[in-house]
Amino acid sequence: MITTKNNSKGIFFILIAMILFSIQDSLIKFVYNEVALFELYFGRIFVGLILICSYLVISKKKIILKTHYLFLTVTRVVLHFFGFSLFFISLTFMSLAMANALFFSSPFFVSILAIIFLKEKIGLKRWIAIFVGFIGVYIVLNPNFKNFDIKDLAPIICALCYAVSMIITKITSDKDNVFTQIIHLYIGGLIICILIFIFSGEGQYNNFNDPTLQFIFREWFSNPSYAFPFIFIMGVFACIAFYCVFSAYSIASPSLVSLFEYSLIIWSIIMGYFLFEDIPTIQTYFGATLIISAGIYIYIREKVKNQMIVTDTPNR
């Protein structure tokens, strides 16, 4: 039974998780000039896998690797991996606030995809909310088509990949439990990272001057004494954040705690200002406000219609 006390705890957990995610994003932005993207990704999920397996062993929960949906699971792993790779890449040239504001376009994609794959029915009001949300995305991007750079779409592509993975999670969660699905993300991510290391881990394709491309193709383990402490901290923080998110959704009302995920944008603004002297423009604030407002409205309508699409099992 969900009580007011549980809701308060859930809100507390989700706020802690969003703080930790904002710290993780800040660390990525801080170290990307000294570490390879997929080295960072590998270390982060390796630490996370060890921690989550340790938690399951200590709590005497069974570690289940078998999935009842092999194709969908592989698809979800690949989308999640490359989607968040794009998000991490966006942090090299975009402010924390802007990247996270654009990422929160994911509920709009989820709602649209739910019509196709879950046969959900969406009324005019939610279509209007989706439209308003995408207007907010457009305003945050502030595109000037004379010098528009397609890489600015990276957080939005991440949001789309995330949305598809959430739809898949909605389908597979009837037989595959939450921890199994998280472990799949970690093991699948490790496998992809190992394959990338085999083909490009020595930095043989790093012939670029652009910092973002260097981040992608840089040689692995070129500066371990500097990089590893940050990678370890990211892994620990991400794992704790995941635990807080799932704890929040398990003890409290999903439709309530999901609204507090938007605090990530606020934390990103704070972190960006104090760590990188990033000051969001008025357009960013206005666009983010539209995105948040539209997202909140969609959450509320899902609650009214008993369609908990977006908020059931988040896996950022």
pLDDT digits (tens, 9 = 90+) for 301-313: 666 665 544 444 4
pLDDT greater than 70 at residue 246: yes
DSSP 152: G
Token look-up 């008025």 returns 282
- Residue 309's pLDDT is what? 47
Which range has the worst mean pLDDT, 7-21, 78-92, 255-269?
A: 255-269
Query: What average pLDDT does range 98-116 have in this prediction?
Result: 87
Is residue 281 scored above 80 in pLDDT?
yes
Find out whether 30 and 275 touch, Cβ atoms under 8 Å: yes
Contacts of 150 (CB under 8 A, 6+ apart): none
Place of tokens 């370890």: 232
- Residue 240 in this model has a pLDDT that exceeds 70: yes
**Nearest in space to 222 (alpha carbons), one of 203, 200, 198:** 203
Kind and range of the H or E element at 96? Answer: helix 96-103
Alpha-carbon gap, residue 69 to 47, rounded angstroms:
26
Greater confidence, 50 or 121? 50
Question: Would the pLDDT of 276 be above 70?
Answer: yes
Confidence band (pLDDT; 50, 70, 90) for 244? confident
Q: How confident is the model at residue 208 (pLDDT cuts 50, 70, 90)?
A: very high
Strand ranges (E), 227-316: none
Across the range 76-96, mean pLDDT stands at 95
pLDDT of 58 higher than 80: yes
pLDDT of residue 308: 47
Per-residue pLDDT, 171: 85
Task: Count the neighbouring beta carbons within 10 Å of the beta carbon of residue 93.
Answer: 18
Domain residue extents for the chain: 4-304
Which position has the token pair 């012939």? 207
Give the model's pLDDT for residue 110: 82
Name the residue with higher pLDDT: 18 or 169.
18
Taking 80 as the threshold, does the pLDDT of residue 270 lie above it? Answer: yes
State the Cα–Cα distance between residues 35 and 228, nearest whole angstrom: 9
Q: Report which of residues 295 and 254 the model is more confident about.
A: 295
Which is more confident, 116 or 201? 201
Cβ–Cβ < 8 Å for 162, 316: yes
- 198/310 Cα distance (integer angstroms): 36
**What is the C-alpha to C-alpha distance for residues 268 and 276, in angstroms, rounded to an integer?**
11
Residue 36 has pLDDT above 60, yes or no: yes
**Averaged confidence pLDDT in the chain:** 86
Task: State the pLDDT at residue 35.
Answer: 94
Q: CA 259 to CA 294: how far, in whole Å?
A: 11
In the predicted model, what is the mean pLDDT of residues 36-57? Answer: 93
Closest CA to 102 of 59, 64, 144, 158: 158
How much is the average pLDDT of 279-284? 87
- Amino acid 11: pLDDT: 86
